[in-house]
């Protein structure tokens, strides 16, 4: 990036770029060809200690003294800088994560939108007055938690940093961000842009490193007042356990096995692109990917056929070639997804269709053919577990009750889509499905800066995005004044 960073092997702490205390670095791979892209700092406990102390100092300094309007203005300025640099950010993300350029650009624009949205919202969250006993005035104050920790995954770094760090800053918290070790460049670019926008030292600190080192140190740190974690159920459970030792609040945005449910009366032409795109976007590495497609029996075969036709046209290749899909993020992720596909074949699931990998895709890249599976029962392993790759499973259903039972029949509850023209059914399904979001006659995998987002069951708890996030990133103080 022309004016950016950056020495990618440094952390951003207290407004300064510094190597890890250990001076060690880690290799960052480009998934499109498997070569080393650059090196990043191997941050650990000492770096997290410094970052948390810097955030605490930030709260005691100019950042902590800013008014809500001033914080909002800074966020808005940063949003404009992100817009100016959207192409550069998209290229960085495409190289780092492997997502096609257009999808990476959409993420950069979403980051700008989060900064605009939370910039505008910073001074809009008001307290209340509460009628109480004679002689009292009681009011509530919205206050920042203090120092907030943010652990994010590799699949949508810019979007998740925007929604999480953006909302925390709007409320006046000082933040420590730990990006995933597979994808750090846009997190570092975020710090660089914050510096250019004029954020005071300590408001934003970024420490790169391994999850079990820097991530574990952050979630166990006694100096943080809140932690926001986005990632897998297994790690989220560790983070919540560590946070419980200090009794601090936690937001968990975890995985999913989200269904799109298509009734026989649906507008199939409208549904079709959403059905497929929401499964293969970002090579299926999306927490809210529509990885299960439930189709009502009378239209099952015809709609499966139309989906298969689309699948056969899908192409995977290097991120900069900007095809339908890039590679998955790492060799490890490739092995996991290929393991699921091998199991599906062994277990007799029908491969309804596959896309292709372009002929000149680099050998070392982590490419997977997008695969549409059919003939699975609702309790099949591939219909229950999060695969996190370009694989969708089609399941037939009989009637409304059957659809609800299947939709709710996994450990997850993140997002659902319902396609039907029946107005009454739209409302019944919206209420009966246990998820954090339901889309009727559309599907928004991760979309909508303004829309509160989060899960129930194993998909997590707490809400990010929208105005709702501002409640999560603040605490309420009740002030009772006895004045007679």
CB closer to ligand NAD out of 227 and 316 = 227
Contact 444, 437 (CB under 8 A): yes
Q: How far is the CB of 223 from ligand NAD (least distance, A)?
A: 16
* Residues in 279-308 that interact with ligand NAD by CB under 6 A: 287
User: Between 385 and 402, whose beta carbon lies closer to ligand NAD?
Assistant: 385
- H or E segment at 420? none
- CA 291 from centroid of its chain's CA atoms: 16
How far from the centroid of its chain's Cα atoms is residue 285's Cα? Answer: 10
Nearer to ligand NAD, 158 or 404 (CB): 158
Q: How far is the CB of 227 from ligand NAD (least distance, A)?
A: 9
User: In which element (H, E) is residue 353 found?
Assistant: strand 350-354
Task: Give min distance, CB of 234 to ligand NAD, in A.
Answer: 7
The reply on whether position 151 binds ligand NAD by CB under 6 A is: yes
Stretch that binds ligand NAD, among 7-15, 34-42, 150-158, 168-176 (CB under 6 A): 150-158
**Residue 309's CB: how many other CB atoms inside 10 A?**
12
- With contacts defined by CB under 6 A, name the span among 6-14, 45-53, 91-99, 227-235 that binds ligand NAD: 227-235
The 3-state DSSP composition of the chain as helix, strand, coil percent (nearest 5) reads 40, 20, 35
Least Å distance, CB 138 to ligand NAD, is 36
Q: Which residues are catalytic?
A: 253, 287
> Looking at 43, 72, 98, 255, which residue binds ligand NAD (CB under 6 A)?
255
Rounded Cα distance, 214 and 177, in Å:
10
Q: How many residues bind ligand NAD (CB under 6 A)?
A: 29
Q: 200 to 219, contacts with ligand NAD by CB under 6 A?
A: 211-212, 215-216, 219
Cα distance from N-terminal residue to C-terminal residue, the chain: 63
Q: Distance between CA atoms of 49 and 60, rounded to whole angstroms?
A: 17
Contact by Cβ (8 Å): 45, 104: no
CB-wise, 153 or 259, nearer to ligand NAD? 153
Kindly give the residue spans of alpha helices, DSSP state H, lying in 21-149.
45-60, 62-65, 68-84, 86-97, 101-121
Stretch that binds ligand NAD, among 103-111, 188-196, 250-258, 352-360 (CB under 6 A): 250-258
Interaction of residue 253 with ligand NAD, rule CB under 6 A: yes
The residue whose two tokens read 């993420």 is 107
- Cα–Cα nearest to 156, from 51, 288, 324, 37: 288
Minimal distance in Å, beta carbon 482 to ligand NAD? 45
The four Cα atoms 446, 387, 180, 109 give a dihedral, to 10 degrees, of -20
Which one of 140, 232, 408, 426 is in contact with ligand NAD (CB under 6 A)? 232
Of 211, 200, 263, which Cα lies nearest the Cα of 242? 211
Of 68-76, 79-87, 235-243, 346-354, the segment contacting ligand NAD by CB under 6 A is 235-243
CB of 255 to ligand NAD, least distance (A): 3
- Tell me which of 32, 38, 148, 155 binds ligand NAD, using CB under 6 A: 155
Separation of alpha carbons 368 and 433, rounded Å: 32
470 lies in the binding site for ligand NAD (CB under 6 A): no
Of all residues in the shown chain, the one whose CB is closest to ligand NAD is: 211
* Candidate list 147, 238, 262, 376; residue touching ligand NAD; CB under 6 A: 238
Told to check if 231 binds ligand NAD by CB under 6 A, we report yes
Q: Of the ranges 21-29, 85-93, 249-257, 398-406, which one interacts with ligand NAD (CB under 6 A)?
A: 249-257
Question: Which parts of 157-186 interact with ligand NAD (CB under 6 A)?
Answer: 178, 180-181
Closest CB to ligand NAD among residues 48, 344 = 48
CA angle at residue 38 from 37 to 41, to 5 degrees? 145
Q: Locate tokens 């929401």: which residue?
A: 278
* Alpha-carbon radius of gyration of the chain: 23
Task: Please name the residue ranges forming H helices in 247-330.
Answer: 268-280, 297-313
**Cβ of 459: how many Cβ atoms within 10 Å?**
28
Nearer to ligand NAD, 77 or 281 (CB): 281
- What is the rounded distance in angstroms from the CA atom of residue 72 to the CA atom of residue 82? 15
Site residues (vs ligand NAD, CB under 6 A):
151-156, 178, 180-181, 211-212, 215-216, 219, 230-232, 235, 238-239, 253-256, 287, 386, 388, 414, 460
């Amino acid at each position: 990036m022309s004016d950016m960073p950056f020495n990618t092997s440094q952390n951003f702490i207290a407004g300064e770029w510094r190597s890890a205390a250990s001076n060690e670095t880690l290799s960052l791979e480009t998934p499109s060809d498997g070569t080393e892209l650059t090196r990043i700092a191997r941050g650990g406990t000492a770096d997290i200690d410094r970052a948390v102390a810097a955030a605490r100092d930030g709260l005691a300094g100019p950042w902590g003294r800013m008014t809500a309007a001033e914080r909002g203005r800074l966020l808005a300025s940063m949003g404009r800088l992100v817009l100016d640099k959207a192409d550069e950010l998209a290229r960085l993300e495409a190289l780092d994560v492997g997502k096609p350029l257009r999808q990476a650009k959409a993420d950069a624009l979403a980051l700008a939108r989060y900064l605009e949205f939370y910039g505008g919202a910073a001074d809009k969250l008001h307290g209340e007055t509460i009628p109480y006993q004679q002689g009292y005035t009681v009011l509530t104050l919205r206050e920042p938690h203090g120092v907030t920790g943010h652990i994010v995954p590799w699949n949508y770094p810019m979007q998740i940093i925007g929604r999480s760090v953006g909302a925390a800053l709007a409320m006046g918290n000082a933040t420590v961000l730990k990006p995933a070790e597979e994808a750090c460049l846009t997190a570092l670019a975020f710090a660089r842009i914050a510096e250019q926008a004029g954020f005071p030292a300590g408001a934003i600190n970024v420490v790169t490193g391994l999850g079990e080192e820097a991530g574990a140190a952050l979630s166990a740190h006694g100096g943080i007042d809140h932690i926001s974690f986005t990632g897998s159920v297994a790690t989220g459970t560790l983070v919540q356990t560590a946070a419980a030792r200090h009794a601090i609040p936690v937001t968990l945005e975890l995985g999913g096995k989200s269904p799109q449910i298509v009734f026989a009366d649906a507008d199939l032409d409208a549904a079709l692109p959403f059905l497929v795109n929401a499964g293969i976007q970002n090579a299926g590495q999306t927490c809210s990917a529509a990885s299960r497609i439930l189709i009502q029996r009378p239209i099952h075969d015809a709609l499966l056929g139309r989906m298969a036709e689309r699948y056969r046209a899908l192409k995977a290749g290097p991120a900069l070639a900007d095809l339908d899909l890039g590679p998955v993020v790492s060799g490890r992720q490739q092995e996991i997804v290929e393991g699921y596909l091998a199991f599906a074949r062994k277990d007799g699931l029908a491969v309804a269709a596959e896309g292709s990998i372009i002929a000149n895709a680099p050998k070392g890249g982590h490419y997977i053919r997008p695969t549409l599976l059919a003939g699975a029962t609702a309790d099949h392993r591939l219909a229950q577990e999060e695969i996190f790759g370009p694989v969708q499973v089609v399941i037939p259903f009989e009637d409304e009750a059957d659809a609800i039972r299947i939709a709710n029949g996994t450990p997850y509850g993140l997002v659902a889509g319902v396609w039907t023209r029946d107005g009454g059914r739209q409302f019944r399904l919206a209420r009966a499905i246990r998820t954090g979001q339901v889309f009727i006659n559309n599907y928004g995998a991760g979309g909508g800066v303004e829309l509160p987002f989060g899960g129930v069951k194993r998909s997590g708890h707490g809400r990010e995005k929208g105005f709702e996030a501002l409640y999560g990133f603040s605490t309420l103080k009740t002030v009772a004044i006895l004045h007679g």
